[in-house]
Structure 1
Amino acid sequence: MTTRSLEAAMNAHHEHPETFNVHGMLLFGEDPLYFSHLPMFEHPAHRFQVLMEVDFRDDVREAVRADQKAGDIQTFVPEPFDILELDPGDGGPARTSVAGTVFHGHFERGGSPIAEGVTARITRVSCFRRLDPELRHDDDGALTYLCFGRAGRLHLAHEITARPDFDQVLPVRIVPGTVRHDPDPQIPGDVTAEDFSRPVQVTFGRLDRPRHRLRAGETAEGSFSLGVSRTGSHGFTAQVEVAAEFYMETGDLV
């Protein structure tokens, strides 16, 4: 860490000591790559659900892609920083990069470094949500995910709401020919959920509990919300096919 970055880190630590910490990230995707902050209700610094697009220099990106072929998850351990610097409100996040180490596997559960002392460039923070540890989870609510990605490379991240909850990331695809739009004429006819650079909320007809979560290999109908206008809520339904389960965690969210 340079003298200037160390000074900035210490200033952030002094200003927001409760959110200055080592913020571990799940690393996944191909083009683009993504970080998903690994949240915890117990620690004030980690009560955030954050999704962001990132990139590395070419050699690191190639090392990440080569390691992906070996299976298992990948995680990223950055140097300590204030997670509030990732908040995209008020014109964008104050932080545009994080330095740290890429791990094969979970860095706290036997993972091994594959690229140390590297910098991840943050190209977009698409989700930044503070989690309230005092709220209790509604087990009778609808199973809800955030859908994001690019054509042919979509992902779902379970929307974390209240404790106890679960963190899950899935690569998915929209089954061709299954998109059914709302009848409202304001909805573009070419919207097919194939380009979500910003997350879109999607709900499924099942309870929001870990045992009812989407699983690798299954296909389920989801209702995609495109927002609300003067004429009401807009969106579409489509069959979603789950390719795999990148990550699933319940223990950190009790």
Structure 2
Amino acid sequence: MVTGSPAIHGLVLLGTDRIHAVHMATFAAPYDYQAVMRVTGKAEQYRAARQRFGTSAALTVLPNPGLSFEDATRKEGFAAELFLGHFAKGGEPLGGMTIRIGKVLQYRALTPPGPSEAAAALSYDHFGGVEIFMSHRLTARPDFDQVLTAQLVSDDFFPVPPAPQEPEQVATVTLPDRPNDLTGRLRPGDRVKAADHELRILAEVYLEADDLA
């Protein structure tokens, strides 16, 4: 449930056929929450950039300052500037676009962690259907924000299973044998078990640690 007055810091946009948005969280209010959303509408500017720069390019959007989460999810959408790369760290501006949020798949506030949360194992939320994405689950400072693309894999004898129906919320996978820091993060080529299937990491789309130090 969304509480308080959270605001949109920025969004990482993902996907080609179905577009998803991941909130670029910090531990400072009013941006102290993680969220995954589906984006609706034509989004021609974004689709042209994705076609030009590829499926693993970091495409971020900067909304108008002070835009609240509640206002961002209204059906009329909101204006934002599209960037190749991080909008605040040398990203290349690509022009304005309108973002329309179709459905919020996840919202979790980054409340001050207890001892067990601060020592939590490395975890990722994964979402999508044909196109699969993963985002690192934030716990406590210092931390890192990471967004990845992934795909279903199979063994040498059986074909890749059909893509699952896109769920209405994210799922979480935990990797207890890896440190929950930059050294232990998932990297392209890694494989992880997620429910009854296996995922291979394809690309690291976004990585940010300074804003979460």
Q: Which band: TM-score by shorter chain? A: 0.7 to 0.9
Corresponding position of 1:65: 50
* Residue identity (%): 28
Partner residue, 2:40: 55
1:44 paired to 2:29: yes
Distance 2:208 2:43 in 1: 31
Q: TM-score, normalised by structure 2?
A: 0.81
Structure 2: which amino acid aligns with 1:113?
P
Q: Are the equivalent residues in 2 in contact too, given 1:137–1:164 (CA < 8 A)?
A: no
Q: Is 1:216 equivalent to 2:196 in the alignment?
A: no
Residue in structure 2 matched with residue 128 of structure 1 by the alignment: 107
d(CA) in 1 for partners of 2:153 and 2:40? 29
Tell me the distance in 2 between the aligned counterparts of 1:112 and 1:192.
Answer: 34
Matched position secondary structure for 1:217: coil
Contact 1:78 1:101 in 2 (8 A): yes
Change (3 A) 1:136 1:72: farther
State the number of aligned residues: 204
Partner of 2:135: 157
Rounded to whole Å, the distance in 1 between the matches of 2:175 and 2:139 is: 16
* Aligned CA distance change for structure 1 residues 71 and 141 (closer, same or farther; 3 Å): closer
Superposition misfits of 4+ residues, deviation over 6 angstroms: none
Q: TM-score, normalised to structure 1's length?
A: 0.69
| Structure number, greater radius of gyration | 1
The structural deviation recorded for 1:64 is 2.5
Give the letter aligned to residue 85 of structure 2: G
Aligned to 2:209: 250
Q: Root-mean-square deviation (CA), in Å? A: 2.8
Unaligned runs of 5+ in 2: none
Q: Per the alignment, do residues 137 and 210 of structure 1 end up closer, same or farther by CA in structure 2, a change over 3 Å counting?
A: farther
Deviation at 1:123, TM superposition (A): 1.2
After superposition, the Cα gap between the structure-2 partners of 1:165 and 1:95, relative to the gap in structure 1 and judged at 3 Å, is: farther
What letter matches 1:165 in structure 2? Answer: D
Contact 1:49 1:131 in 2 (8 A): yes
Cα separation, partners in 2 of 1:95 and 1:165, compared to 1, 3 Å: farther
Matches within 5 A, 1:160-179: 160-176=138-154
Cα drift, residue 61 of structure 1: 3.9
Q: Residues of 1 paired with 2:18 and 2:115: CA distance?
A: 34
Partner residue, 1:142 = 121
Q: Does structure 1 conserve the Cα–Cα contact (< 8 Å) formed by 2:133 and 2:149?
A: yes
Structure 2 letter corresponding to 1:51? V
Query: Are positions 1:23 and 2:9 aligned together?
Result: yes
Q: Deviations over 1:19-63 (max 9, x none)?
A: 35x52111222121121111111x211101011111343532432
Structure 1, unmatched stretches of 5+, are 1-15, 87-92, 179-189, 225-235
> Residues 130, 169 of structure 1: CA spacing in aligned structure 2 closer, same or farther, 3 A cutoff?
same
Distance change (3 Å), C-alpha of 1:143 and 1:193: farther
Give the distance between the partners of 2:119 and 2:188, measured in 1 at CA.
23
Conservation of the 8 A alpha-carbon contact between 1:54 and 1:123: yes
Structure-2 change in CA distance of 1:66 and 1:212 (3 Å): same
Question: 1:97 — aligned with what?
Answer: 77
